[in-house]
Amino acid sequence: MGVFDSGLGGLTVARALLNALPNERIVYLGDTARVPYGTRSAQTVVRYARGCSEILLERGVKGIVVACNTVSAVAIEILRAELDLPIIGVIEPGARAALAAVRALPALPEKLPKIGVLGTTGTIASGAYPRAVGQLSTRYEVVALPAPLLVPLTEEGWIEGEVPRLIVRRYLEPLIAAGASVVVLGCTHFPLLKNIIAEVAAELAGHPVPIVDSAEATAAVVAEWIADERLAPSLGEHTPAARLELLVTDLPASFSVVASRFLGADASHVTQVDLNAK
């Protein structure tokens, strides 16, 4: 399977895929030369997404997981129309997971809980989350707010301590004040800050707030597709070391440091690929 994101964030999805699909080989591409995507126009994101897909296609992947909410929000239909292989995004699985979380809350007779979403500026401006939730249920209101600074914070590996906590608080305050009862991490970089987000949301709300991460829900969709299409490699076809190939478009060394920390496994082999005119 091919998996791509603007940088490190999609590793949250790659990790869930490695757990859900023990025999599958994953080729992961982080477009570190052009991160962040979330502050760019839809047109630019489409162009970047085409380039990433091309690199993965050259490596012979059987499907592509768009491990990026921004690309899933603005470019996925274009990729699906242009490319002759299955393309799986993170927003629809994330919307399903959000509904499951909100439905699991204790029922309050006087009001329905709201679904809070934090994402990049591009994802929030696209309205993709309210749309995806609305296609599944019209009962719940979605409050979606941009939290763009969380992307460079995680790319820097700054995922603990006072600075991320203050920034997370600044973004969560209006979301909790608007009545969000669950918080959807609508950017694949944000699960790297999940502990801080959960702690600050609970402080602000005065009780624990469910935090929804689309990585596992996305991995479950991929696993179902592979099973339905009987595409699973035979047992032991790939040795554990060969199961994850890491590609970046710039600075492989610094990617490797944060990736190893995050994956909890060796990520020292990172190959830099050439974007050319992609």
Contact status: 29 vs ligand DGL (CB under 6 A): no
Pick the catalytic residue: 3, 56, 68, 273? 68
Using CB under 6 A, which of the segments 35-43, 92-100, 106-114, 267-275 binds ligand DGL?
A: 35-43
- Exposed e or buried b per residue across 94-118, where buried means at least 16 C-beta atoms within 10 angstroms of its C-beta: bbbbbbebbeeeeeeeeeebbbbbb
d(CA 242, CA 222): 20
Using CB under 6 A, which of the segments 32-40, 92-100, 105-113, 126-134 binds ligand DGL?
A: 32-40
Please give the size of the binding site for ligand DGL, defined by CB under 6 A: 16
Q: Which of 120, 181, 218, 249 is close enough to bind ligand DGL by CB under 6 A? A: 120
Biggest CA-to-CA distance, the chain: 58
Pick the catalytic residue: 17, 35, 187, 270? 187
User: Considering the complex, what minimum distance in angstroms separates the CB of residue 179 from ligand DGL?
Assistant: 24
Using CB under 6 A, which of the segments 66-74, 76-84, 137-145, 216-224 binds ligand DGL?
A: 66-74
Q: Which is nearer to ligand DGL, 11 or 113 (CB)?
A: 11
Contact status: 4 vs ligand DGL (CB under 6 A): no
Contact status: 52 vs ligand DGL (CB under 6 A): no
Q: Which is nearer to ligand DGL, 113 or 215 (CB)?
A: 215
Cβ-contact 142, 102 below 8 angstroms: no
Contact status: 37 vs ligand DGL (CB under 6 A): yes
User: Considering the complex, what minimum distance in angstroms separates the CB of residue 20 from ligand DGL?
Assistant: 19
Q: Which is nearer to ligand DGL, 181 or 214 (CB)?
A: 214
What is the 8-class DSSP label of residue 212?
E
d(CA 212, CA 18): 19
List the beta strands (DSSP E) in the chain. Answer: 2-5, 26-30, 64-66, 87-88, 114-119, 142-146, 180-186, 211-213, 244-248, 270-272
Please state, as a whole number, how many other Cβ atoms lie within 10 Å of the Cβ of residue 82: 13
**Among the listed residues 39, 96, 88, 71, the one whose alpha carbon sits nearest the alpha carbon of residue 231:** 88
**Among the listed residues 2, 46, 8, the one whose alpha carbon sits nearest the alpha carbon of residue 28:** 2
Residues 128-187 that bind ligand DGL (CB under 6 A): 151, 187
Contact status: 38 vs ligand DGL (CB under 6 A): yes
Query: Does residue 52 have an active-site annotation?
Result: no
Beta strand 180-186 with 211-213: parallel, antiparallel or unpaired? Answer: parallel
Q: Which is nearer to ligand DGL, 39 or 272 (CB)?
A: 39
Q: Which is nearer to ligand DGL, 209 or 215 (CB)?
A: 215
Angle between helix 214-228 and 11-20 (nearest 10): 50
User: Considering the complex, what minimum distance in angstroms separates the CB of residue 123 from ligand DGL?
Assistant: 5
Placement of tokens 């080989």 in the chain: 25
Binding region for ligand DGL (CB under 6 A): 5-6, 9, 35-38, 68-70, 120, 123, 151, 187-189
- Which amino acids are annotated catalytic? 68, 187
